[in-house]
Amino acid sequence: MDFRGKTFWITGAASGMGRALSLKLATYQVRLIISDRDEAGLVATAKEITSRNSTVRIEPLDMLDAQAIEQTAKRVIADGEKISGLYQFAGISQRSLLIDTPMENIRKIMEVNFFGVVAHTKAVLPHMIENGGGQLAATSSIVGKFGFPYRTAYSASKHAIHGFFESLLAENSKYNIKTSVLIPGRVQTNISKFALEKDGSEHGVIDPGQANGISAEKAANMIFNGLKKEKKEIWVGATEMQMVNIRRFLPWLYYKLAPRIKPM
Count of residues for the chain?
A: 264
CB 116 within 8 A of CB 214: no
Task: Give the pLDDT score at 264.
Answer: 73
| Residue 248 banded pLDDT, cuts 50, 70, 90 | very high
Catalytic one among 154, 175, 254, 255? 154
| Residue 209 banded pLDDT, cuts 50, 70, 90 | confident
**Rg of the Cα atoms in the chain:** 18
Is 154 among the residues known to form the active site?
A: yes
Q: Give the chain's end-to-end CA distance (angstroms, integer).
A: 37
**pLDDT tens-digit readout, 59-95:** 999 999 999 999 999 999 999 999 999 999 999 999 9
CB 209 within 8 A of CB 108: no
| Residue 262 banded pLDDT, cuts 50, 70, 90 | confident
- The arithmetic mean of pLDDT across residues 104-116, rounded, is 98
pLDDT at 261 over 90: no
**In the CATH scheme, what architecture does the domain 7-260 have?**
3-Layer(aba) Sandwich (3.40)
- β-partners of residue 88 are 11, 138
DSSP-H helix ranges across the chain: 16-26, 39-51, 66-78, 103-110, 116-130, 152-172, 208-211, 216-228, 242-249, 251-257
